[in-house]
């Protein structure tokens, strides 16, 4: 049985006529950077999330970087985040010369544990950057309360959770700044790199817009040192089409994720926990399994693709050895990283494919 880990071809075929028309319109008008396509996307993203400002940018990584730059984060500053995430979360902190201060995760959601954050705060702490992992928001109210108490700013790394809800509000509109990614494999994916930054702070929004365009406030007048972080019009055109159908795809993801968990409820594997306060968009369907290597090998023999998000927490990565962390410092992150694995997930996964996957898993 042919199973794709993420079925982007099926998605393209469903929206092909509209996507081709919008992309061809970009070619015809030859406005490849900025312009109407980007303006429409930003307005639609703002409406979708409820944030006052949505700013398209070149990637989820650059969204995080630009957000920290807008807050003037630099050498000597500390940013609290999780070690169980993709490297980009902490990479951008290091890139600016600041220091990542890691806090271990909640054992159920795999998101940062708010009860452990205050112990990590020092007089150098400037930002708390929780990651809404695997499509589910972190406990943002608890995190925001801590930030208010200590006069810190919260940036939600929502690169995996666009479309998810937390207490009735959309991810990306749960803190001072929210950042997401439109990498092709994301729930809302472009056909190349892309991202967006969300805020309801007008001054921050204006600063971010300058920073992503080489710090320009007028053409060839540079108020700030910035980067080339623009989102191109082709990606904006593609995203605008996909956004029209996004809620339908989110619903399909939730139904497929729920069915996975139901089918595996009697297995020995630990299925994803979705907190009652919110929803998940299942950017990945990730579960914990014992003896992961043998499970992956068996599924591979049946041509069932899998992935591991993520096999090594950041505090053990060579790139962050200067932070001085060691094995055992974040036991939950380490334990989950040794057992976590992801199954095929897309709105186009059929029940027959799910049955085949779960039957193979239940035999382990």
Closest CA to 51 of 145, 151, 150, 180: 180
Residues of the chain with pLDDT under 50: none
DSSP 3-state assignment of 224?
coil
Residues of the chain with CATH 3.90.1150.10: 246-362
Report how far residue 270's alpha carbon sits from residue 254's, in angstroms, rounded to the nearest whole number. Answer: 17
Report how far residue 152's alpha carbon sits from residue 149's, in angstroms, rounded to the nearest whole number. Answer: 8
pLDDT value at residue 351: 97
Dihedral of the CA atoms 102, 333, 282, 56 (nearest 10)? 20
Give residue-wise pLDDT tens across range 216-263. 999 999 999 999 999 999 999 999 999 999 999 999 999 999 999 999
Taking each helix axis from N to C end, the angle separating 60-70 and 202-211, rounded to the nearest 10 degrees, works out to 120
Strand partners, 103: none
Sort 339 into a burial class: Cβ within 10 Å, 0-12 / 13-18 / 19+.
middle
My answer on whether omega of the bond before 336 falls inside 30° of 0, hence cis, is no
Report how far residue 41's alpha carbon sits from residue 30's, in angstroms, rounded to the nearest whole number. Answer: 18
Question: What's the topology of domain 246-362?
Answer: 3.90.1150
pLDDT value at residue 42: 98
pLDDT value at residue 364: 65
Closest CA to 178 of 163, 195, 197, 164: 197
DSSP 3-state assignment of 139?
coil
Mean pLDDT rounded to a whole number for the chain: 97
Residues of the chain with CATH 3.40.640.10: 8-244
Give residue-wise pLDDT tens across range 175-190. 999 999 999 999 999 9
In CATH, the architecture of 8-244 is 3-Layer(aba) Sandwich (3.40)
Q: Are strands 177-181 and 169-170 parallel, antiparallel or unpaired?
A: unpaired
Q: Which residues of 192-230 are buried (b: 16+ CB within 10 A; e: fewer)?
A: ebbbbbbbbbeebbebbbbbbbebbeeeeeeeeebbebb
């Amino acid at each position: 049985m042919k199973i794709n880990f993420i079925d982007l071809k099926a998605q393209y075929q469903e929206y092909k006529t509209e996507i081709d028309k919008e992309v061809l319109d970009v070619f015809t008008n030859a406005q490849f950077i900025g312009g109407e396509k980007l303006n429409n996307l930003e307005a639609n993203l703002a409406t979708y999330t409820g944030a006052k400002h949505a700013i398209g940018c070149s990637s989820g990584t650059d969204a995080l970087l630009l957000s920290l730059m807008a807050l003037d984060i630099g050498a000597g500053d500390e940013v609290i985040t999780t070690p169980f995430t993709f490297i980009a979360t902490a990479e951008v902190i290091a890139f600016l010369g600041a220091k990542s201060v890691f806090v271990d995760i909640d054992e159920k959601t795999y998101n940062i544990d708010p009860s452990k954050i205050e112990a990590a705060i020092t007089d150098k702490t400037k930002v708390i950057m929780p990651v809404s992992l695997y499509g589910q928001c972190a406990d943002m109210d608890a995190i925001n309360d801590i930030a208010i108490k200590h006069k810190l700013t919260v940036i939600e790394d929502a690169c995996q959770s666009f479309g998810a809800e937390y207490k009735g509000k959309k991810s990306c509109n749960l803190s001072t700044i929210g950042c997401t990614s439109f990498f092709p494999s994301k729930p809302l994916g472009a056909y190349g790199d892309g991202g967006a930054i969300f805020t309801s702070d007008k001054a921050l929004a204006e600063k971010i817009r300058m920073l992503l365009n080489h710090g320009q406030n007028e053409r060839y007048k540079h108020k700030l040192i910035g980067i080339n972080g623009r989102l191109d019009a082709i990606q904006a055109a593609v995203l605008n089409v996909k956004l029209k159908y996004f809620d339908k795809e989110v619903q399909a993801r939730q139904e497929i994720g729920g069915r996975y968990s139901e089918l595996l409820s009697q297995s020995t594997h630990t299925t994803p926990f979705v907190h009652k306060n919110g929803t998940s968009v299942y950017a990945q369907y990730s579960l914990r399994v014992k003896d992961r290597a043998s499970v992956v090998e068996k599924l591979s023999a049946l041509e069932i693709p899998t992935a591991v998000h993520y096999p090594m927490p950041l505090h053990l990565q060579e790139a962050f050895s200067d932070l001085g962390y060691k094995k055992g410092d974040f036991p939950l992150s380490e334990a989950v990283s040794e057992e976590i694995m992801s199954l095929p997930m897309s709105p186009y996964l059929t029940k027959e494919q799910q049955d085949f996957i779960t039957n193979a898993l239940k035999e382990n």
